[in-house]
Structures are given as structure tokens and as C-alpha cells.
């Protein structure tokens, strides 16, 4: 189920028409207050929310992400916001830093939009189509101090629960399924995000940094963010062997 939070304009009609055309069940509301009521009664796999590139909008979307960690959130740039209505310094990167999983801007392209939505929906239902991310049939995996359980969409470190957004969970789960293997940003975009476009590498960087910050805050492990290692000039990897060796020598 998909929730659209978009003011009543022509672009909302495009989005609704696209979702209906591709047989996606969805609800549509025009403001955050109405969305909150629906979100209390219904779990949505994906939330599509309008972006105005202003501080107020950014704060509302961050609150939406924080309150709905199991939902994937896509921000779509409004087609009615004028340059004068935008706050200087608020850009696409700010929305990724706020926790959105994807940001759609530029002229509306139905084919590209529907492809991205299908990608998000596949990854919100890993038991139905998770073959690209999960190489084995195991629903639970333990690797180093990490325990990942796909049944409950949860990650624990030494028994302590790690609070992750849907995208962060999928990213860490992918790393855990391929420990110590190095992935480029483009590979992660393809496998975890489901698309590969030049210029979107900063999306990976932002989510890696958010994941590291959360790992660093876990009390049961020291410097947990170092589990996700940067391999300069190549990409990232889950550095289980190196982290354990360092911990044993400390």
C-alpha cells in the first residue's frame, strides 16, 4: 500500500494515474495532518511526499521519516513551487540527510517514475522478491556482532536493537550477506536502490554516514561505525574480519 502526501495540483493527478495504471493500491491526502491520521490506522510500505525545498517542508518530512521507520519515503519535487518560495541553501542533499530513500526532481517521466516505484515496492516486500539481496534462503543471519532477522525487519548488535529506517536496514542487510566484499557506489545503487544513474552516488554516501552514526551510538560496541569501512577509490565494505581483529588486539 502506498500513501501520497501531495497538495491538489496536476502533478498529484499524474502520480495517482501512474500508480493506478500499474495496479498499485494507494491513498492520497493533501496535507500532513490528514496523513498522520491514516498512518495511525494503516501501515504503508511506501510514502510519496511533496518537496518544496524549504525549511518547513524539510522538517515535516524528517519527522515523517522518524515516525515511520518501516516505510520507505520518496520525496517528489513540487511542480508549483516558485524559486522565490524556496529557502536558500535547501537542496536535494538535505532531504537525503533527513532520511528520505529517494528524491525525484526534474521533468516528470512516467516510465522512470514507475520503474523507481516498482523498485522500492520490491524491496519493501523482501519475502516476495528478495533474490537479488539475499543469496541464501536464511531469514536470520549472524555475522560478527551483528544479527539480522528479515522476519521482523530488525538488526541487533550484541543483543541491543539498532533502530534503522527501511533503506538503512536493506543496506546493512546487503552488507551482512556479503561480508568483507567491496562494493562501489554504483553497485550499491543498483543492488540496494534498484537503479543506477550517474550523479546519484551522494545518495549512497549520505545513507552510509547515517548508518555509521547509528552504529557509533550503540552502547554495547565501541566505534561500531568502523564496521562499515571506506575503501578509498573503490567503495565500501562490511569490515568484519578487520574489526574483530582490531577488537581482539585492543
- Assess whether 123 and 157 both reside in one domain: no
Domain hosting 35: range is: 2-127
The three cell numbers locating residue 67: 515516525
pLDDT band at 161 (very low <50, low <70, confident <90, very high): confident
Among 82, 109, 127, identify where a domain stops: 127
Asked which of 127, 144, 168 is the last residue of a domain, the reply is 127
> Do 19 and 77 share a structural domain?
yes
Q: Are residues 108 and 167 in the same domain?
A: no
Which of these three, 75, 97, 127, is where a domain ends? 127
Residue with cell 521482523: 152
160-162/72-77 β-pairing: unpaired
Tell me how many domains the chain contains. Answer: 2
Cα distance between residue 20 and residue 30, in whole Å? 18
Owner of C-alpha cell 501501515: 43
Same domain, 146 and 73: no
Comparing 86-90, 166-170, 221-225, which segment has the lowest mean pLDDT?
86-90
Residue 79 phi, psi (nearest 5): -95, 0
> Taking residues 51-55, what's their average pLDDT?
85
pLDDT of residue 84: 62
pLDDT category, 136, cuts 50, 70, 90? very low
Amino acid at each position: 500500500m502506498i500513501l501520497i502526501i501531495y497538495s491538489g495540483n496536476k502533478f498529484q493527478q499524474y502520480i495517482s494515474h501512474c500508480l493506478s495504471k500499474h495496479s498499485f493500491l494507494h491513498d492520497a491526502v493533501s496535507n500532513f495532518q490528514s496523513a498522520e491520521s491514516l498512518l495511525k490506522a494503516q501501515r504503508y510500505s511506501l510514502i510519496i511526499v511533496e518537496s518544496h525545498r524549504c525549511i518547513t517542508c524539510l522538517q515535516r518530512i524528517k519527522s515523517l521519516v522518524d515516525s515511520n521507520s518501516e516505510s520507505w519515503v520518496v520525496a517528489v519535487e513540487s511542480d508549483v513551487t516558485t524559486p522565490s518560495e524556496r529557502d536558500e541553501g535547501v537542496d536535494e542533499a538535505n532531504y537525503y540527510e533527513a532520511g528520505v530513500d529517494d528524491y525525484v526532481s526534474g521533468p516528470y517521466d512516467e516510465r522512470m517514475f514507475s520503474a523507481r516505484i516498482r523498485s522500492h515496492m520490491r524491496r519493501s516486500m523482501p519475502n516476495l522478491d528478495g533474490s537479488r539481496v539475499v543469496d541464501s534462503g536464511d531469514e536470520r543471519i549472524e555475522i560478527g556482532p551483528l544479527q539480522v532477522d528479515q522476519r521482523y525487519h530488525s538488526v541487533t548488535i550484541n543483543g541491543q536493537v539498532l533502530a534503522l529506517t527501511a533503506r538503512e536496514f536493506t543496506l546493512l542487510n546487503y552488507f551482512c550477506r556479503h561480508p568483507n566484499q567491496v562494493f562501489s557506489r554504483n553497485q550499491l545503487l543498483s543492488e540496494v536502490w534498484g537503479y543506477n544513474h550517474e550523479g546519484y552516488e551522494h545518495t549512497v554516501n549520505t545513507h552510509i554516514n547515517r548508518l555509521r552514526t547509528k552504529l557509533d551510538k550503540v552502547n554495547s560496541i565501541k566505534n561500531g561505525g568502523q564496521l562499515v569501512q571506506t575503501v578509498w577509490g573503490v567503495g565500501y565494505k562490511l569490515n568484519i574480519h578487520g574489526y574483530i581483529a582490531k577488537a581482539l588486539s585492543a
